[in-house]
Structure 1
Amino acid sequence: MAAPSNAEPSPLPKNGVSDWSRRYTCFPVLLITEFPLTSFSPRAFFRRQEVMENVMRILESVEVKWEHFQTWTDFSRLHLSNKLAIFGVGYNTRWREEIHYHYAEISSQVPLGKRLREYFNPEKAEGRVIMTKVQKMNWKNVYYKFLDITISEARCLELHMEVDWIPIAQTRAAGCSNGSQYLLPGGIPKTYGLYAIGYEETSRSNSSSSTDNKSSPSQEEEETDHCESVEKDKRTSSKVTYCYLGIAEERTLQQCLFQHFQTSGKHYSREEPSAVTRFLQDNCTGQAKEGVLSGLHIYIKFIEVELDFLSAGSLVECLETAIGYSLKFNKKDAL
């Protein structure tokens, strides 16, 4: 029997899918290494799935066309080499020409051309999946589509898909029997960036208010509680309605949010309060009745962005496309 070969892996084929089927037909199928069960995180898994579904929906809503993947030189073209983008990978079969999504992501840190070359590399896990599907004739052709985005738009999408909502506490205003005031959390950056304000109807029941009397939960119970926590996070994200996207460019994130949420009437400028500021003020005025605060639950989220990049892109349209509805308190020409 011949000794096992220690040769280096063969270089990438210069041609595309056709090279895979010719060069690797006689080779055994390469299996993707699975993650150990102990490293599996339900929260991270659901987050990745949610991000991928959001990216697919964005690509469909802007009606970007599929491009047939043929060679790796496609990804070295000038218009792909230095752009950030959201992209999708799709396929069809010999039986149906309709293209289905296989994968989608935001390439917000790596230029699109480099990321696609990495993704289609047959010597890496992602590329091996595609190679195997074509080799076994599960797929006929492979396609990709993309929408180039600015750095600020990439951060805006990260704000929506990656950043959790932070609930804003309300407390009864001192010396006032029918009003409340907001308590902003600590840790809001004194830097520039993007922030969003959302709300949730208080009439919805809060399942987390009920407490149990379990003294020492078992491992199985703890795992169940963890999965329930993940599902609760998903429900919280889905039931919060965005109403405003702010850009902290002339003032810091901390200053902008403080201006919106203060109820004393003092502002950094002498201009009239914005629509979202008036909405927040009205929400905490006259809402404390019989000791119960009954206004809307308010949430915020924010992300830091370098000042030089904040003015680029169409941020309101970007977020509205991602969430699927209009922002109530944004002027359409403001951002």
Structure 2
Amino acid sequence: MEAGLGVLGPPESGKTTLLATLPIAAEQYAPGWMFFGANDEAQDFLQENLRRLRASRTLPAATVRLNPEMRFVLRGVRKARRRGPFARTRRVQTAVYLDVLDAPGGLYAWPGPSGRSDVGSGATPSSPASGGEESDRDRLTRHVADSSGLILLVDPVLVDSPNYDAYDYIKSIVLDIARRSALSSADEFLPHYLAVCMTKCDHTAVYEKAREFGLATDDNGPGAFPTVSDQRAREFFDELCGSSWEGAPRGRAIELRDAIRSHFSPRRTRYFLTSSLGFGQHPETGVFDPDDPANPTYETGANDGSERPWVSGLIRPVNVIEPVLWLAATQLRNGS
């Protein structure tokens, strides 16, 4: 089974980190599940970034250029039900090939006065070569439009920041892919399946809101990691977009919510509350501390005074493999 997967999000939304932690998430999901590279580009990407996360305890570097297409394999055992009068559930070995482009978020910056993207974070949309080759943005747009499933990362902490305009980002994507794939849909929406991932569920402010909402529960006992459900994740997304954050109205977040609803079918959209690193542990006791749930810690650099994140505890991704499994399952059901 083959499926194109688009991983989207504005700059600094955590796309590279999410991809890098998928092998860890697959191992922890269930025995026998694996996520690995099927070509050299994918394998090199995973090895380099897993080394940074596990050995150096640093986060993957932000993507600043459009890399070659990476092909990954998600393999494991799933339950399938045979059809007919003697239907029964059986275990089936499943392998899904996922084609992914790790693109800098700036490639989908909103077009400036010149009509081209005002790209930040070091990313530059390459112009077409004299031989008629695609620009980076055109190549990414073609990949996203041809993908059957999309993962959109939204940072709840930054979503309303002027420098993190997720609304302009998603509108720019919609306009580009609508030209290529809107007519292939059977209804009024784009044909894609969309997994909306609200990131940083280990961030103190996000975790507290999730607890208030009943989405993160401490029913595993004192010191155990919380359980984060996706049963009410859509309602939680509405809550995050509609409520104030630290006293400021969330106008940009509301625009983002409305854009998703306007262009993607609710039957083909699912919401997840995620964390690529997972929850942190107390440095002395090694158990989860609800008063300090974040995994990354920040240290001030000696040379430039900037804050740098470090992975402080074990990496236990939360709802990272689940969006990929859901998107893969839609392809298996549809026979793609």
TM-score class, shorter-chain normalisation, is under 0.3
Give TM-score, length-normalised by structure 2: 0.23
Larger Rg: 1
Give TM-score, length-normalised by structure 1: 0.23
